Chain A
Amino acid sequence: MSAAAAPAARRTSRVSSPPPWANKGLAVLVALLAIMLPLFFDPISGFIDDAVVALAYVIMALGLNVVVGFAGLLDLGYVAFFAIGAFTTGWFMSGFYVDANIHILTSGPVGTLPGIHLNFIFVLVIAAFLCALAGTLIGLPTLRLRGDYIAIVTLAFGEIIRVFAVNGDTISIAHGAKLTGGRQGITPVDQVKLPFLDPFTQLNLRPWYWFVLALVFIVLFVVIRLRDSRMGRAWIAIREDEVAAASMGVPLVKTKLLAYTVGGAIGGVAGAFLAAYLNTVNADQFAFSFSIFVLAMVILGGLGSVWGVVLGAVLLSFINNRLIPDVLDSVPGKLGLNFNLTDLGFGIFGFLLVIVMILRPEGLLPERRRQLELHEGIDSGESVFEARV
Chain B
Amino acid sequence: MKAWANKWGLIVVLLALPVYYGIKDLADTGSLSHLGQNLLAGLSNGSIWALIAVGYTLVYGIIELINFAHGDVFMIGSFVTAGLFGTIGLGLTSGPLGIGFGLLAILLIAMVTCGVLNVMIERVAYRPLRSAPKLAPLITAVGFSFILQNVGLLWLGGSPASVPDLIHAQQDVFTVFGITVQRADLLAFAVTIPLVAAMTIFIARTKLGKAMRATAQDPDAARLMGINVDTTISLTFLIGGMLAGAAGLIYALYQTTIWFFQGFQAGLIAFTAAVMGGIGNIRGAVLGGLIIGCIQQISDNRIGTQWTPAIVFAYLILIMVFRPQGLLGEETREAG
Contact = CB atoms under 8 A, between A and B. Distances in A.
Contact of B131 (A343, A346, A350, A378): A378
Interface residues on A, range: 35 or more
A149 B316 CA distance: 10
A386 B316 CA distance: 33
B55 to A, nearest CB: 15
Interface stretch (A4-12, A82-90, A160-168, A184-192): A160-168
Contacts of B132: 361, 374, 377-378
B310 A160 contact: yes
Given A160-B313, A167-B307, A357 B335 contact: no
A354 B140 contact: yes
A348 B154 CA distance: 13
Contact of A74 (B135, B230, B306, B309): B135
Interface residues of B, number: 53
- Consensus secondary structure, chain B interface: helix
Contacts of B313: 156-157, 159-160
A72 interface: yes
Contacts of B147: 347, 350-351, 354
Contacts of B84: none
B223 interface: yes
Interface in B300-320: 306-307, 309-310, 313-314, 316-317, 320
A155 B139 contact: no
Contacts of B137: 357
A149 B135 contact: no
A299 interface: yes
A163 B310 contact: yes
A354 B143 contact: yes
A23 interface: no
Interface stretch (A137-145, A252-260, A318-326): A137-145
Given A152-B66, A160-B310, A346-B146, A358 B128 contact: yes
Nearest to A353: B143
A386 B306 contact: no
Contacts of B271: 152
A304 B139 CA distance: 15
A159 B264 CA distance: 11
15 contacts: A145-B334, A149-B275, A152-B66, A156-B316, A156-B317, A159-B313, A343-B153, A350-B142, A350-B144, A350-B147, A353-B146, A358-B129, A387-B128, A387-B129, A389-B128
B268 A156 contact: yes
Contacts of A147: 64, 134, 334
Nearest to A373: B133
A148 B66 contact: yes
